[in-house]
Every structure is written in structure tokens, then in C-alpha cells.
């Protein structure tokens, strides 16, 4: 959609009603968009698609607007001057304003998924507030504690953040991972159960993968027994998989990967590629951006394609 005027012209002959509408637009849209994302929804009472779109936009803003999104609704029949200046030719039409200017928009119906993607892309362009910067700093600290193996302090840090920001699924996911690292599987399961089932955030997927591994991993006390099984029969792929899970749970990441890579090298199709599937689960649980995950993926690719 072409960008329109960044301000409204003021006709010399303007009714008091039009003047009030222009002033409201300047305040509610142009000025507010200096520190918020403002969605201007042009609509009409006779427009059926407008009535279908309205609750979808309301829902997406309520769930994903992060408190930094405002919506202004303009009836093109009641506010003709503004509709004309923005050359609205059909409804529904939605314009997004940032920094006092229209930066994007669309015409017609959109699905909830499309509007969510539209909103999140625009919100990413907003500079963080002081409060948001503080939250991100505390989140980074909690993640650093977790990466350093300080599971209980990390769990406490995540719990404090989750109390203040219960809407943040990524914080709840971090809390669950910290609880898992501390061996509190039931508590982690409870935290993850509170996250909407349809959440597809990377942090949530990572935490769920970690929970799956923790629930299926052999106790750390069985590591020696599993190592003896593998030594006695290197072709015992099931023992290698169980050993890898146990090693991963105790933080012995490279050894866990080595066991699965050895199984893949020996028989990559055993049990429908179970060792490869398990290795990908470990990578997902660790996080795709983790250095260990990146290195392990390179090893797997080299093994599969060399």
C-alpha cells in the first residue's frame, strides 16, 4: 500500500465537527504514534467484512499488542473529510502509523494469523521503553545464570519475572527450563501447562523439548550401567540412546552427542532413524542458537552428507 500524507490539510471552510475530527486525529493518531503503534481502521456500518474484521483486530491487539498498540476507528460516512484525505476507496482499510507517519496497511479481510504477523512486524520497529529494557536485562541475567549451571538462582530470577509479566510465554518457558535443570520436573510441567497449547514461540518449543527429554531420561545413577551395556555391545543402539539422554540430563553434552553420532554412523536407519531423531531433540532442547547445538548440527551434517 502506498504511503499517504503524514498530516492532514486544513480546508479554509471547515465545520466545527470536521475541525474537531481533525484535531482528534492529530492527537489520537499522529501524536500518539510517536511512542506507540497506532492502527487506524476505516469502516462503515453497512460493511459486513468490517464487522468480521473488527473483533479479530481487537483480539490480536489485546493478546499481542504488548501495551504499545492503540486503535482508532473511523467511520467513513461520519468522518468524510479524513476518509477523503486518505483517499479511502473501499472498506475495511487499515493503516499503521509510527512516528507520526503511515508506514503500512492493508485493504479487505485478513485472518487472525495474518494480522498477528502484521502487528508483530511493526512492533519490532518500536524502540524499547525503559521498562522493557529493564525486563530484557533481567531476562538476560536469568538466562546467563541458567547457562552457567546456576539452576536454583535462575529459577528464582525467572519466577520473579514471571510474577510481574505473566503474559510473557518466553519468561515462563525459561522458568520451566530452570526448574528442569534443578531436577524439579513436576514443577516445570505445571509451569508449561499454563502456557497456551498453540504457542509456537521458540523458547516454549525449547522448554517443551527439554521436558520431554527429562521425562524419558534414565536416572543419572544408571549412567554407569548404560555405559557397561554399550561397552559390552557397541551395536546396542537403544542403550546408546538411553545413555545419551542420561548424559545430556547431567550436562555432559558432548558425550551425549558422541553416543548418538556413533549410533548414526553405525546404522543410521535403525528403528527408523531413532538416534538421529533423538539428537535433533537434544539440539532443540538446548536451543538452535546455542554454540553446542550449532557445532553438533555441523557434525551431524558432515556425517550424513560426507
100 Cβ contact list (under 8 Å, min separation 6): 6, 7, 30, 31, 33, 34
For residues 92 and 49, is the Cβ–Cβ distance under 8 A? yes
Whether omega for the bond prior to residue 92 falls within 30 degrees of 0, making it cis, is yes
Catalytic residue among 39, 40, 50, 155: 50
Collapse the DSSP code of 105 into the 3-class scheme (helix H, G, I; strand E, B; otherwise coil) and give the result.
Answer: strand
Catalytic residue at 47? yes
For residues 195 and 204, is the Cβ–Cβ distance under 8 A? yes
For residues 233 and 239, is the Cβ–Cβ distance under 8 A? yes
Helix or strand holding residue 52 (H, E): helix 48-64
Q: Length of the chain in residues, anyone? A: 306
Distance from the Cα of residue 242 to its chain's centroid: 31
The tens place of each residue's pLDDT in the chain, 306 residues long, gives 544 445 566 555 678 888 898 999 999 999 999 989 999 999 999 999 999 999 999 999 998 887 889 999 999 999 999 999 999 999 999 999 999 999 999 999 999 999 999 998 998 888 777 777 899 899 999 999 998 889 999 999 999 999 989 989 999 999 999 999 998 999 999 999 999 988 888 899 999 999 999 998 888 789 999 999 999 999 999 999 999 999 998 889 999 999 999 999 999 999 999 999 999 999 999 988 889 999 999 999 999 997
180 Cβ contact list (under 8 Å, min separation 6): 188, 207, 210, 211, 214
Q: What is the pLDDT of residue 296?
A: 95
Catalytic residue among 22, 30, 40, 47: 47
- Taking residue 106's Cβ as centre, other Cβ atoms within 10 Å add up to 16
Catalytic residue at 143? no
Q: Which three cell numbers stand for residue 53?
A: 474484521
For residues 98 and 33, is the Cβ–Cβ distance under 8 A? yes
Q: What is the pLDDT of residue 276?
A: 95
Q: Parallel, antiparallel, or unpaired for β 37-43 and 69-75? A: parallel
Amino acid at each position: 500500500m502506498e504511503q499517504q500524507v503524514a498530516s492532514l490539510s486544513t480546508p479554509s471552510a471547515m465545520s466545527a465537527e470536521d475541525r474537531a475530527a481533525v484535531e482528534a486525529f492529530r492527537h489520537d493518531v499522529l501524536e500518539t504514534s510517536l511512542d506507540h503503534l497506532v492502527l487506524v481502521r476505516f469502516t462503515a456500518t453497512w460493511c459486513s467484512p468490517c464487522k468480521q474484521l473488527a473483533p479479530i483486530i481487537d483480539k490480536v491487539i489485546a493478546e499481542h499488542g504488548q501495551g504499545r498498540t492503540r486503535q482508532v476507528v473511523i467511520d467513513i460516512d461520519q468522518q468524510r473529510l479524513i476518509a477523503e484525505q486518505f483517499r479511502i476507496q473501499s472498506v475495511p482499510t487499515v493503516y499503521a502509523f509510527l512516528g507520526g507517519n503511515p508506514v503500512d496497511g492493508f485493504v479487505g479481510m485478513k485472518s487472525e494469523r495474518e494480522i498477528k504477523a502484521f502487528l508483530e512486524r511493526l512492533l519490532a520497529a518500536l524502540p524499547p521503553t525503559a521498562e522493557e529494557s529493564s525486563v530484557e536485562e533481567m531476562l538476560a541475567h536469568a538466562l546467563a545464570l541458567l547457562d552457567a549451571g546456576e539452576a536454583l538462582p535462575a529459577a528464582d530470577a525467572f519466577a520473579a519475572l514471571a510474577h510481574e509479566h505473566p503474559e510473557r510465554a518466553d519468561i515462563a518457558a525459561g522458568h520451566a527450563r530452570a526448574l528442569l535443570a534443578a531436577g524439579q520436573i513436576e514443577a516445570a510441567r505445571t509451569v508449561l501447562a499454563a502456557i497456551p497449547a498453540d504457542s509456537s514461540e521458540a523458547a516454549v518449543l525449547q522448554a517443551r523439548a527439554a521436558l520431554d527429554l527429562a521425562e524419558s531420561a534414565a536416572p543419572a545413577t544408571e549412567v554407569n550401567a548404560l555405559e557397561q551395556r554399550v561397552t559390552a555391545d557397541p551395536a546396542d543402539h537403544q542403550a546408546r540412546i538411553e545413555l545419551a539422554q542420561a548424559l545430556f540430563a547431567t550436562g555432559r553434552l558432548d558425550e551425549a552427542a558422541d553416543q548418538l553420532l556413533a549410533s548414526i554412523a553405525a546404522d543410521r536407519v535403525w528403528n527408523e532413524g531413532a538416534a538421529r531423531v533423538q539428537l535433533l531433540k537434544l539440539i532443540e532442547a538446548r536451543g538452535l542458537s546455542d554454540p553446542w547445538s550449532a557445532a553438533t548440527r555441523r557434525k551431524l551434517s558432515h556425517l550424513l552428507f560426507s
